[in-house]
Amino acid sequence: MKRTLNLLLPLLSLLLIAGGCSNKKEKMEQELKQFIADWEARVEPLQRDAYIAYWNASISGNDEDYAKSEQLQFQLNSIYTSKEDFALLKKIKESEAVTDTMLKRQLDVLYTAYLSNQIDTTLLAKRIKMEVEIEKKYSNFRADVNGRQLSDNDVEELLKTSTNSAELQSAWEGHKKIGQVVSADIIALVKVRNQIAQELGFKNYHAMSLELSEQNPDDISSLFDELDNLTRDAFAGLKDEIDTYLANRLKINKDQLMPWHYQNRFFQEAPSIYSVDLDKYYGNQNIEELTTNYYSSIGLDITDMLANSDLYEKPGKNQHAYCIDIDNAGDVRILCNIKPNYSWMNTMMHEFGHGVYDKYIDRNLPFSLRNPAHTFTTEAIAMMFGRMGSNPQWMQDMGLIDSTEKVRIAQDTYQVLRLEQLTFSRWAQVMYRFEKSMYENPDQDLNDLWWSLVEKYQMIKRPEGRNEPDWASKIHIATSPCYYHNYLLGELLASQLNHYITANIVKSDDFRYQSFYGNKEVGKYLTQKVFMPGASLYWNDMIEKATGEKLTARYYAEQFVK
Ligand SMILES: [Zn+2]
């Protein structure tokens, strides 16, 4: 009897625990479902109104519309500052009781969205005030170049066109003076941002920014290391070509080349050392029609989005381009200012890349998961299609050039793309590593850190004895912190998808000149494997399911290094 009891007791308590668990699980899941239903009822209509107001404002450009847009955006943001909502989500998350995959995913997405808005309001106000002050200083700054006041655009223009070393040097140095104006403010801002991050439980602001967007800082650093190793030698070779070209053009020796000789303020874009004029192919073309025909040929219909879009110049209208998913339910709009040239061809293909991603996300997913897996995954799709505008195979398939012309420009167009990519990738290394290190220790010698990274990754020479806050002349460091790396991750994924589609759908081993024109399987693959899952999968799981591998730098190197 006693024995039996002894045996039974542990069994009973096991059953009790299991029973308690499933009760708790049910209770938590029920509570979460209720919260989500309530959250959706508040956010869905408000987001739609806010996005429509933003859209209207960027087309009319009038103050009234902008005021309405700002007010709705503020209302939308303030939902996420709720302490009660966050406490509930935190309790559910920490219980670890939610096991249903789709519910758990929604919980993670909502928890993160709320967590990033749980900032102490005094600190938040302080941060915003500092950011506004710094931004004002950037806007008001003009470079004094031999007594002339030059805007950033003027400086860029001068650096691109002048061949006079003394003039180039004064323009570059004149622009860098903004560094002295804002550097102390930025260091103070970095410390406030770190304080915010630490109060939310993160090591520093850089770590927080990455982790809140589901990026493990160590994973991102490994990708940057991998890319550094893969691109270093090829870039060194190209850099030598650039130097030979520039030294010739400027009539100086290669070893006299200084940072002001590289045709832009940061050597973030490739100097134009090859001569391809892509504009001439687009001068008489209907860019809108080319875009529609192309996407339709790969099985992606954009006509519904075209009807909602605003594609041509108007007085007062925003002069740039963007894609916006108004309601996560099919109302996707694109703003452009089309002119018949290469740049707008690239932009239309890019923006409708974002468009098809948004449009084809599975409408049966819960509202909070009807978004791309990550901002850089939608950027990757946009970049992959944007690259088509300079791809001679694509140009031939679209009827812009014949096969003789294709052969004639193939080498040069590839060289241009390769030069652009490698130059940008080395610059992104500097930005990523600088920000990471700056947030880890804002009191270190940042001037020296910056130039050590520039020398190492961009391979340009630090002017002798230079000890100035040149890092602070890059506005993104102050105003768009810890985001720059996503541009490069987008390029890596664009190449990884290009490789997968070429090898497995087109079944070719030519990874440079694929247009996918007319291949509906391509649209089907992207829809099923990339677009439809939306944010229901963590981005690297989506990539692994779609390509058989996690995000890697290998295919970027395959496309642009060899
Ligand atoms: Zn984009």
Q: What is 484-535 written as a DSSP string?
A: THHHHHHHHHHHHHHHHHIIIII--S--SS---TT-HHHHHHIIIIIITTTT
Q: How far does the centroid of ligand 1 lie from the alpha carbon of residue 352, in Å?
A: 9
In this prediction, residues 240-268 reach a mean pLDDT of 96
Predicted pLDDT of residue 320? 87
Under DSSP, the state recorded for 456 is I
- Residue 344 CA to ligand 1 centre (angstroms): 13
Percent of the chain with pLDDT over 70: 96
**Ligand 1 center–CA 145 separation, angstroms:** 34
Confidence of residue 8 (pLDDT cuts 50, 70, 90): very low
Q: Report CA(172)–ligand 1 centroid distance (Å).
A: 29
Average pLDDT over residues 411-419: 92
Q: What pLDDT is recorded for position 211?
A: 95
Q: Give the Cα separation of 223 and 545 in Å (integer).
A: 19
CA of 382 to the centre of ligand 1 (A): 6
Q: Report how far residue 265's alpha carbon sits from residue 492's, in angstroms, rounded to the nearest whole number.
A: 25
Span from the CA of 353 to the centroid of ligand 1 (angstroms)? 8
- In which band, very low, low, confident or very high, does the pLDDT at 12 lie, cut at 50, 70 and 90? very low
Res. 20 pLDDT band, cuts 50 70 90: low
- Return the sign of the alpha-carbon dihedral for residues 377, 378, 380, 381: positive
Give the whole-angstrom CA distance, residue 213 versus residue 481: 13
Give dist(CA 379, CA 384) in Å, integer.
9
| Burial environment of residue 70 by CB neighbours within 10 A (0 to 12, 13 to 18, 19 or more) | middle
Average pLDDT over residues 93-120: 95
pLDDT-derived band at 9 (thresholds 50, 70, 90) equals very low
Predicted confidence band of residue 21 (pLDDT cuts 50, 70, 90): low
Residue 274 pLDDT class (50, 70, 90 cuts) = confident
Grade residue 10 by pLDDT with cuts at 50, 70 and 90. very low
The alpha carbon of 294 and the centre of ligand 1 are apart by a number of angstroms equal to: 18
Give CA–CA dist 281/268, Å, rounded: 26
List beta partners, residue 323: 334
The pLDDT score that the predictor gives to residue 275 is 77
3-state helix, strand, coil in the chain (%, to 5): 70, 5, 30
The pLDDT of residue 25: 86
Report the amino acid identity of residue 76: L
325 CA to centre of ligand 1 in angstroms = 13
The closest of 261, 266, 119, 253 to 194, measured between CA atoms, is 119
Q: 347 CA to middle of ligand 1, Å? A: 9
Kindly indicate the confidence band of residue 388, based on its pLDDT and cuts at 50, 70 and 90: very high
Who contacts 247 (Cβ-Cβ below 8 Å, separation ≥6)? 253, 254, 256, 257
Q: pLDDT-based confidence at 7, cuts 50/70/90?
A: very low
What's the whole-number mean pLDDT along residues 460-472? 96
How many angstroms does the Cα of residue 356 sit away from the middle of ligand 1? 12
Q: Rounded mean pLDDT of 354-379?
A: 98
